[in-house]
């Protein structure tokens, strides 16, 4: 099946630093969704991207839909302790209108 690989797998950063992570696929996606999962909770949608090249912001978060449609990027500016969690990219694989494939996840830890 289609895989979504996220990089980095985990990262430790200091409060106030900017964070970048990416998600790559072996095949084309028409929609990219970025989620955050807190421990013991379900994922919560952060940003949705629907068009190649699209750049969308949600507060301190900015995500981009790669031109090749095989990748996406998420940036967090001026990180704060509550940014701690696991960030997942996800999308419906080509040809499946509703099922989501999730990325491998990036675990973010923020130190004071």
Partner 1 sequence: GAVVSQHPSRVICKSGTSVKIECRSLDFQATTMFWYRQFPKQSLMLMATSNEGSKATYEQGVEKDKFLINHASLTLSTLTVTSAHPEDSSFYICSILHGRYGYTFGSGTRLTVV
Name the site residues for partner 1 (rule: CB under 8 A).
Answer: 1, 31, 33, 40-45, 48, 50, 88, 92, 98-105
Are the beta carbons of 34 and 56 closer than 8 angstroms?
A: no
CB closer to partner 1 out of 97 and 112: 97
Pairing of strands 61-65, 71-76: antiparallel
Closest to 109 in 3D by CA, of 8, 26, 30, 5: 8
Least distance to partner 1 from the beta carbon of 86, Å? 9
Q: What is the CA radius of gyration of the chain?
A: 13
CB closer to partner 1 out of 73 and 88: 88
Least distance to partner 1 from the beta carbon of 98, Å? 6
Structure token pair of residue 43 = 């994922």
CB closer to partner 1 out of 99 and 112: 99
């Amino acid at each position: 099946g289609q895989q979504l690989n996220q990089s980095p797998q985990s990262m430790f950063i200091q409060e106030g630093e900017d964070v970048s992570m990416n998600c790559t696929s072996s095949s084309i996606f028409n929609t990219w969704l970025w989620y955050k999962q807190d421990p013991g909770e379900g994922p919560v949608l952060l940003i949705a991207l629907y068009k190649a090249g699209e750049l969308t912001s949600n507060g301190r978060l900015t995500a981009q839909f790669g031109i090749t449609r095989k990748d996406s990027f998420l940036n967090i500016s001026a990180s704060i302790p509550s940014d701690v969690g696991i960030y997942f990219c996800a999308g419906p694989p080509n040809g499946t209108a509703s099922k989501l494939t999730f990325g491998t996840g990036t675990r973010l830890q923020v130190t004071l």
